[in-house]
Amino acid sequence: MRLSGPDKTGRGTGMRNGAWLLMLPAAAVMAFVGVLPLIAVFNYALHDIFSLANVHWVGVEWYEDIVTSSRFHESLLRSLMFSAIVLSVQVPLGVGIALLLRRARGAVLVLMLVALPLVVPWNMIAMMWLGLIDPGTGIVGRVLASAGVVFDWKFTAWQTWVLLVVMDTWHWLGLVVILAYAGLSGIPAEFYRAAAIDGASRWAVFRHIEVPRIAAPMGIVLLLRFVDSFMIYTEAFAINAGGPDMATHFLAIDLGEEIKGFSYGSAAARSMVYFLIVVTVVWAFVRIAGLSRQEEGA
């Protein structure tokens, strides 16, 4: 790909071979699968849809009903709490496992084992764990029963939360371990030898050598895991359908109920609200990361 030289003003005249045209197919696909559906959902959110032939304009009434609803505020708080819990558990645990595997023999085999849950379909995870914790047939359930532990996840809210966090950690921990291990594997051995010569402590090595190397992949992990955990639906609904007593009634379950109730206008508005929340969090994260990189460069 050839760049042209500077023009009379001293500035480059840019691409002359039309290489940017090669991106048009990808841009067209992104517009078809991303932009057009978003525009359609935004349009639906401004109407009360009884059928395709019976549509009434309501403006922003759906949005007003949602953002002023106490049920929305409570579901939002639960979703944020769930995301905060799983991130605080999975990221440190995944990084710790990756640190142990960095010098361990058979690290590749362990990575393959922790990656296996990533290929399990979402709708199968809840069924698997319900079978595991069954006191009559499940391994985990029998161990808990033999230890005298009563795990009543159907009617005890905190036990339902424990089950969801453990289940989500089992499913996604492999992603954290793999990306952290990849970042650690790229650290030259000379860095560790220099730290040993200087008498650096293990914490100093982790803080000044290993953390900068895994910061970028962990940033990707934080974004992916936040978005996925924030909109958890399949596992929470299959475990206890938002119960007990609305204790695990997250945002996505509210949305699912409206879709099943054929309230498409309200569901579209709720989808747009959730989309704006996620986009705002992602924008803030990218902005903060960019500012931190600028400070490090300075």
Whether 91 and 120 share a structural domain: yes
Whether 251 and 172 share a structural domain: yes
Is 248 among the domain residues?
yes
pLDDT at res. 210: 92
Q: Domain containing 108 — which CATH number?
A: 1.10.3720.10
Residue 115 has a CB neighbour count (10 Å cut-off) of 14
Q: Residue 53's domain spans which residues? A: 38-68+267-298
Whether 133 and 218 share a structural domain: yes
Whether 51 and 119 share a structural domain: no
CA geometry: angle at 21 spanning 16 and 24, to 5°? 165
Count of H helices and E strands in the chain?
14, 2
pTM of the model: 0.85
Is 1 among the domain residues?
no
Is 23 among the domain residues?
no
pLDDT at res. 1: 44
Whether 43 and 156 share a structural domain: no
Whether 92 and 231 share a structural domain: yes
Q: Based on the structure, what is the number of domains in the chain?
A: 2
117: closest CA among 177, 168, 171? 171
Tens-binned pLDDT, residue by residue, of the chain (298 aa) = 444 445 555 455 445 567 778 888 888 888 888 888 888 889 889 888 876 677 888 888 999 999 999 999 999 999 999 999 999 999 999 999 999 998 888 888 999 999 999 998 888 899 999 999 988 888 988 998 888 888 888 899 999 999 999 999 999 999 999 999 999 998 998 999 999 998 989 999 999 999 988 988 898 899 999 999 999 998 899 998 888 989 999 999 988 888 888 888 899 999 999 999 999 988 888 888 777 777 666 6
236: closest CA among 156, 171, 160? 160
Cα dihedral value 289, 294, 295, 298, nearest 10: 160
Whether 240 and 129 share a structural domain: yes
Is 205 among the domain residues?
yes
Is 64 among the domain residues?
yes
**Those residues with Cβ within 8 angstroms of residue 111's Cβ, 6 or more apart along the chain or in another chain:** 101, 174, 177, 178, 181
Is 162 among the domain residues?
yes
Whether 92 and 175 share a structural domain: yes
Whether 178 and 293 share a structural domain: no
Whether 192 and 86 share a structural domain: yes
Is 32 among the domain residues?
no
Whether 186 and 286 share a structural domain: no
272: closest CA among 12, 62, 30? 62
Whether 142 and 210 share a structural domain: yes
Is 8 among the domain residues?
no
